[in-house]
Structure 1
Amino acid sequence: MIQILVVEDEVKVAKHLKKGLEEQGYEVVITYDGDVALRLFSQQPFDLVLLDGILPGKNGFQLCREMRQLKPNVKIIMLTALSATDDKVEGFDSGADDYIVKPFDFRELLARIRAHSKTQQISYSPSLKIANLELDQAKKTVVRGGVKINLTAKEYSLLEYLMKNKGRVLSRLDITEQVWDLDFDPGTNVVDVYVNILRKKIDKDFEPKLIHTRVGMGYFLDDQE
């Protein structure tokens, strides 16, 4: 499955892109900030980036240059309202593989994504494994110690996100943005509730314990506490 990072500060546009791309079988992570985007890009194995030009934090052109230096083979498509020829030239000079001006036809975007995906070797492992816990991303199944673990769609998404970020402390803000696509409400305990549910399902009857809490900071999954 091709993994796409959408960097777009307009929340409605970002969520529209995520919904449409996921319906086409892509795995999508969205972020609204350039600095956060660079951190995610450096830590996760994305195959393609859809990148707005005007962003809080680092702007799209600066971000494109830094992404290109970090991972030269990842495809980057600028998706922006900046339509002047000088902007397009700057986009390509920054390292973009393609440049699409808003408003755009979603069918054209899909065609561009397919075209760029064919030009690279996609390195994708269909399963994630930590200790005796295995998550199959193709079949959407979870097994621990040979025992199948039944999870809801949201529980699965949370576990997948934790496993992809093994050893990294994830704040409640990180989790709500990537798993729920919600603006963080400091008064909600939805993350804590779901983490506790996961603990009961994948940790309670197994060793070693994999889900850990860093007090005041967040949660992380690792086979070494």
Structure 2
Amino acid sequence: MRVLVVDDERRMAELLRRGLTADGLSVDVAHDGTEALWRAGATRYDAIVLDVMMPGLDGVTTCRRLREDDVWSPVLLLTARDAIEDRVAGLDAGADDYLVKPFALPELSARLRALARRGRAERPTVLRVGDLELDPASHRVRRGDVAIDLSPKEYSVLYALMAAPDAVLDRYELLERAWGSEYENRSNIIDVYISYLRQKIDRPFGTDSIQTVRGEGYRIRSAPAPSG
């Protein structure tokens, strides 16, 4: 089992290397996110241990960059912070597990073995409608070669539409999928966000992929018509 340990504190990195090696693992060490990206791109690791608090590229950013680079080795984040938002940020960035400091080395070894047994995660399915592409792993949206910057809610509405191309989704469905229990059924917020999306994914490209179906809702067409 080959593991990459990434920690800018050299003493800690060496302690982890020695302890995991003594437990039968083959361990490489990187001391920053940039080196981690290079090593993980060149070597197929069974697991990667990332310290969250690193200067430059922190652990969460490094994890996100690994996934963007199509590196799908299981990632375990080491963090001194146990706040829910920190854990959510790490998992949303593509991490598979986390361990809060201080921790016992046997627990780290056991978690790494468990991750290795699961195997590498398969790349999430990229949604494509025509030349519009949405990548759930990295939250990136593109039309052709052009990256499109969306807010979280714009992304959620677009994801719902692209997950069911050509299907009509009413406002209630879109509200539920994008806002969950925080929506107001009589609100026109969906109309507002549809307008935002059209301004970003359609109009600059001279196309009209999001269609209003009068009295029913909205749909994204798999073969969008050129805009007038």
- After TM superposition, the score normalised by the length of structure 1 is 0.51
Q: How far apart are 1:69 and its partner, in Å?
A: 2.5
- Structure 2 unaligned spans of 5+: 121-228
Per the alignment, residue 27 of structure 1 pairs with 26
Per-residue CA deviations over 1:119-147 (Å, capped at 9, x if unaligned) read 117xxxxxxxxxxxxxxxxxxxxxxxxxx
Per the alignment, residue 212 of structure 2 pairs with none
- The answer on whether the counterparts of 1:53 and 1:82 sit within 8 Å (CA) in structure 2 is no
Per the alignment, residue 119 of structure 1 pairs with 118
| Structure exhibiting the larger radius of gyration computed from Cα positions | 2
Q: What is the rounded CA distance, in whole Å, between the counterparts of 1:92 and 1:61 in structure 2?
A: 9
Aligned length: 120
Per the alignment, residue 134 of structure 1 pairs with none
- The answer on whether the counterparts of 1:3 and 1:27 sit within 8 Å (CA) in structure 2 is yes
Q: How far apart are 1:31 and its partner, in Å?
A: 1.3
Residues 52 and 40 (structure 1), Cα distance of their counterparts in 2 relative to 1, 3 Å cut: same
Residue 95 of structure 1 aligns to a residue whose secondary structure is coil
Residue 45 of structure 1 aligns to a residue whose secondary structure is coil
- The answer on whether the counterparts of 2:40 and 2:71 sit within 8 Å (CA) in structure 1 is no
- The answer on whether the counterparts of 1:62 and 1:94 sit within 8 Å (CA) in structure 2 is yes
Taking the TM superposition and a 5 Å limit, the aligned residue runs for 1:1-225 are 2-120=1-119
- The answer on whether the counterparts of 2:2 and 2:46 sit within 8 Å (CA) in structure 1 is yes
RMSD: 1.3
Structure 2 counterpart of 1:96, which letter?
Answer: A
Q: How far apart are 1:49 and its partner, in Å?
A: 0.4
Structure 2 counterpart of 1:78, which letter?
Answer: L
Q: What is the rounded CA distance, in whole Å, between the counterparts of 1:48 and 1:17 in structure 2?
A: 14
Per-residue CA deviations over 1:109-168 (Å, capped at 9, x if unaligned) read 1111111111117xxxxxxxxxxxxxxxxxxxxxxxxxxxxxxxxxxxxxxxxxxxxxxx
Q: What is the rounded CA distance, in whole Å, between the counterparts of 2:112 and 2:59 in structure 1?
A: 18
Q: What is the rounded CA distance, in whole Å, between the counterparts of 1:56 and 1:38 in structure 2?
A: 15
Structure 1 counterpart of 2:17, which letter?
Answer: K
Q: What is the rounded CA distance, in whole Å, between the counterparts of 1:48 and 1:114 in structure 2?
A: 9
Q: Percent identity, please.
A: 39
Q: What is the rounded CA distance, in whole Å, between the counterparts of 1:15 and 1:44 in structure 2?
A: 20
Q: What is the rounded CA distance, in whole Å, between the counterparts of 1:56 and 1:40 in structure 2?
A: 18
Q: What is the rounded CA distance, in whole Å, between the counterparts of 1:109 and 1:40 in structure 2?
A: 21
Q: What is the rounded CA distance, in whole Å, between the counterparts of 1:63 and 1:73 in structure 2?
A: 13
Q: What is the rounded CA distance, in whole Å, between the counterparts of 1:55 and 1:64 in structure 2?
A: 12
Q: What is the rounded CA distance, in whole Å, between the counterparts of 2:111 and 2:94 in structure 1?
A: 16
Residue 49 of structure 2 aligns to a residue whose secondary structure is strand
Q: What is the rounded CA distance, in whole Å, between the counterparts of 1:27 and 1:71 in structure 2?
A: 23
- The answer on whether the counterparts of 2:44 and 2:73 sit within 8 Å (CA) in structure 1 is no
Residue 82 of structure 2 aligns to a residue whose secondary structure is coil
